[in-house]
């Protein structure tokens, strides 16, 4: 038996984790110093809540009638329209204990049960009432999430306190079972003039001079997304007391078919660790894909060698955690990955580059896109082959394929193999190429 020495791997892992803890501390320190506009001017009461009067009325009517066993409330709509802010403002105004959870961070049934299982049945310690908020429930709809949606349904059924969920699209087929236990409330785009009023208020509080037409341009280009408009304002006015139309050039052309460009702009332009981290919360892409977007555009945004090196160093550490998430299925490590690939990149620069950068699609994803059909067909063949050999696809690739590749070099033996495993000529050609 081969003796495996894990001491080096364990020691290395400890170094990485200790560095991550140190980075966490540094990020928290920077967060205390720099608070983003989106956080600083988040509504503290229902009076400060912008627009969405109909949604507010439905929410208040629901909370008034709620009792144990009632349905949860599912807020849905595009990012930045106040879904989370409404619940937070209400809880702050009523002095309720708000328990928040992002479903993308706790994906499996066991993780969700660990976080919420007992809490939904226990009375609050210091406040008179509780309310639960589960953000981005559409982030746990994948096959890898091991019953996450089912766990939320069980929690809704047994909860002694009201539960509010949020998502972008509630009509995803994967959320069909969850919809039966929820009342749906749609949040529409925020009107441009409501956004302008909020931007004017922020400018007054920050002592920033800005023409109304300029603020209207910021509001219009974000098409109903208040948070994105506030982030845009912060991007162009940090360190300034007056902003002009020329400052809008740093924002570039708005790409509304996806918000990945907004997220990249915030990560690369801001000096706030928290703003960078929050920038990807509403992006309709998996963190693994966002990782490659960031990797592909670092050298396009940053110009100083030391800043580029520091950014890639943070990204390399994020990649270590990304690999550990995949190999160990430990989703808690994804939080470290996200911190390093967002806040780590944002704080790698000394000051913001006041230029427009055209962010480009990751080359790696382009290659994967071109080979998607080929890889899908290979997966189908190997899944079928593994099933016939009564083994996993991993064992098939590691232990069986090397011998199969030798066998298929002989035409007679290849035909015998195809007959015994019921492989078509197309499937045999894929096995030969692998």
One digit per residue, pLDDT tens: the chain, 434 residues?
A: 434 344 444 444 444 445 555 555 555 544 444 567 888 888 888 888 877 889 999 999 999 999 988 999 999 998 888 999 999 999 999 989 888 887 766 666 777 777 777 788 877 777 788 999 988 888 775 444 457 788 889 999 989 999 999 998 888 888 888 999 999 999 998 998 999 999 999 999 989 998 888 898 888 888 888 888 988 888 888 778 888 888 777 776 554 444 688 888 888 888 888 888 878 876 777 888 889 899 999 998 999 999 999 999 999 999 999 888 878 777 778 888 999 999 999 999 988 887 888 888 887 766 666 566 667 777 777 787 788 878 887 787 777 777 777 877 778 887 887 787 777 777 777 777 76
Which helix (H) or strand (E) segment holds residue 378: the answer is helix 372-389
Give me the domains of the chain, ranges plus CATH numbers.
7-37+191-366 (no CATH), 52-186 (3.40.50.300), 372-433 (no CATH)
98: closest CA among 112, 84, 113, 83?
A: 84
- Beta-bridge mates of residue 133: 100, 164
pLDDT of residue 24: 52
Write down the pLDDT at residue 272: 82
Sheet holding 163-167, edge to edge: 97-102, 130-135, 163-167, 72-76, 182-186
The H or E element spanning position 366 is helix 363-370
Q: How far, in Å, CA of 159 to CA of 181, rounded?
A: 12
- Specify whether the backbone of 266 is left (phi greater than 0), alpha (psi in -120 to 50) or beta: alpha
Bridge partners (DSSP) listed for residue 98 = 131
Interatomic CA distance for residues 56 and 52, integer angstroms: 6
* Alpha carbon distances (Å) from 18 to 136, 193, 320, 364: 30, 48, 13, 31
Task: Provide the whole-model pTM.
Answer: 0.57
Q: Which residues of 316-341 are buried (b: 16+ CB within 10 A; e: fewer)?
A: ebbbbbbebbeeeeebebbbbbbbbb
Distance CA(307)–CA(100), nearest Å, equals 35
Q: Where are the beta strands (DSSP E) in 116-247?
A: 130-135, 163-167, 182-186
**Residues near 297 by beta carbon (within 8 Å), at least 6 away in sequence:** 264, 268, 357, 359, 360
């Amino acid at each position: 038996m081969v003796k495996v020495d894990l001491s080096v791997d364990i020691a290395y892992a400890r170094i990485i984790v200790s560095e991550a803890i140190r980075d966490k501390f540094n990020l928290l320190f920077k967060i205390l110093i720099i608070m983003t506009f989106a956080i600083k001017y988040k509504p503290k009461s229902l009076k400060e809540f912008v627009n969405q009067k109909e949604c507010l009325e439905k929410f208040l009517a629901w909370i008034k009638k709620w009792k144990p066993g009632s349905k949860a409330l599912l807020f849905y709509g595009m990012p930045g329209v106040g879904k989370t802010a409404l619940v937070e403002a209400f809880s702050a105004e009523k002095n309720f204990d708000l328990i928040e959870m992002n479903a993308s961070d706790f994906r499996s049934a066991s993780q969700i049960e660990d976080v919420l299982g007992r809490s939904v049945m226990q009375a609050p310690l210091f406040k008179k009432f509780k309310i639960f908020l589960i953000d981005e429930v559409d982030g746990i709809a994948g096959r890898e999430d091991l019953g996450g949606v089912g766990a939320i349904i069980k929690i809704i059924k047994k909860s002694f306190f009201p539960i509010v969920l949020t998502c972008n699209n509630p009509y995803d087929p994967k959320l069909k079972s969850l919809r039966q236990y929820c009342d749906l409330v749609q949040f529409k785009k925020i009107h441009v003039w409501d956004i302008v009023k909020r931007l004017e208020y922020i400018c007054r509080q920050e002592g920033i001079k800005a023409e109304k037409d300029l603020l209207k341009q910021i509001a219009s280009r974000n098409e109903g997304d208040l948070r994105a408009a506030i982030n845009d304002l912060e991007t162009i006015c940090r360190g300034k007391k007056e902003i002009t139309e020329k400052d809008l050039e740093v924002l570039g052309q708005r790409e509304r078919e996806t918000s990945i460009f907004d997220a990249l702009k915030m990560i690369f332009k801001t000096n706030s660790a928290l703003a960078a981290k929050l920038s990807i919360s509403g992006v309709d892409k998996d963190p693994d894909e966002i990782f490659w977007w960031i990797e592909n555009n670092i050298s396009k945004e940053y110009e100083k060698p030391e800043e580029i090196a520091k950014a890639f160093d943070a990204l390399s550490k994020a990649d270590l955690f990304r690999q550990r998430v995949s190999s160990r299925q430990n989703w808690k490590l994804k939080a470290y990955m996200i911190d390093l690939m967002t806040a780590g990149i944002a704080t790698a620069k000394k000051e913001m580059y006041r230029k427009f950068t055209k962010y480009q699609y990751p080359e790696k994803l382009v290659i994967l896109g071109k080979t998607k059909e080929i890889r899908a067909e290979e997966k189908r063949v190997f899944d079928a082959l593994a099933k016939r050999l009564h083994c996993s696809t991993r064992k098939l690739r590691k232990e069986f394929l090397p011998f199969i590749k030798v066998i298929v070099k002989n035409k007679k033996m290849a035909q015998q193999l195809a007959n015994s495993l019921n492989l078509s000529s197309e499937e045999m050609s894929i096995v030969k190429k692998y």
